[in-house]
């Protein structure tokens, strides 16, 4: 009596052997390759477990120290940069405020000296009228504004 042929092709080695169906992927494997297939599945599960553990650790770290969150770090960096820019602008404004009055005073002093020369000249020559006095008075008012 002949033995029954219960052999099918193994998905991995493509040889006719006694095979076992993997219900997960619906493929037939010989015993050796079924074991290998199961090892591969175990490795994939280990990768998933590892990724899960890493993510869980990250979540736990963030719960314990919310200050370490990357968005908090970006906000802190933005804050430092903004403060630095504001300090630079404040320093520029201080410089302008310090220099501007001196320039302004120098300009007034120049006008005042010019007016003084005109007054001295008119007074020394004793040659003036109402128009000259009006002009000098308007110049003095303009300078003192």
Q: What pLDDT, on the 0 to 100 scale, is given for residue 7?
A: 92
- Note the pLDDT of residue 3: 61
CA 44 from chain centre, in angstroms, equals 38
Give the C-alpha distances (Å, rounded to integers) separating 129 from 111, 117, 122, 123. 22, 17, 10, 11
Q: Would you kindly state where each structural domain of the chain is located, as residue ranges?
A: 1-68
What pTM did the predictor assign? 0.44
Low-confidence stretches of the chain (pLDDT < 70) are 1-4, 66-68
Query: What is the rounded CA–CA span in Å between residue 54 and residue 52?
Result: 5
**128 contacts 120 by C-beta, under 8 angstroms:** no
Q: What does the pLDDT read at residue 1?
A: 53
Instruction: Tell me the sheet residues that pair with 22.
Output: 27
Q: Both ends of the chain: CA-CA distance in Å?
A: 130
């Amino acid at each position: 009596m002949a033995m029954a042929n219960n052999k099918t092709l193994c998905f991995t080695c493509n040889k006719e052997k006694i095979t076992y169906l993997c219900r997960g992927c619906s493929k037939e494997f010989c015993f050796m390759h079924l074991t290998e297939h199961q090892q591969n599945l175990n490795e994939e599960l280990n990768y998933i477990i590892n990724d899960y553990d890493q993510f869980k650790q990250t979540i736990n770290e963030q719960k314990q120290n919310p200050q370490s969150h990357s968005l908090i770090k970006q906000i802190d960096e933005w804050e430092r940069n903004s403060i630095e820019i504001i300090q630079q602008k404040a320093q520029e404004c201080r410089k302008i405020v310090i220099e501007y009055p001196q320039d302004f005073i120098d300009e007034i002093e120049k006008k005042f000296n010019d007016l003084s020369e005109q007054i001295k000249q008119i007074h020394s020559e004793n040659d003036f009228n109402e128009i000259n006095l009006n002009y000098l008075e308007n110049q003095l008012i303009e300078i003192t504004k």
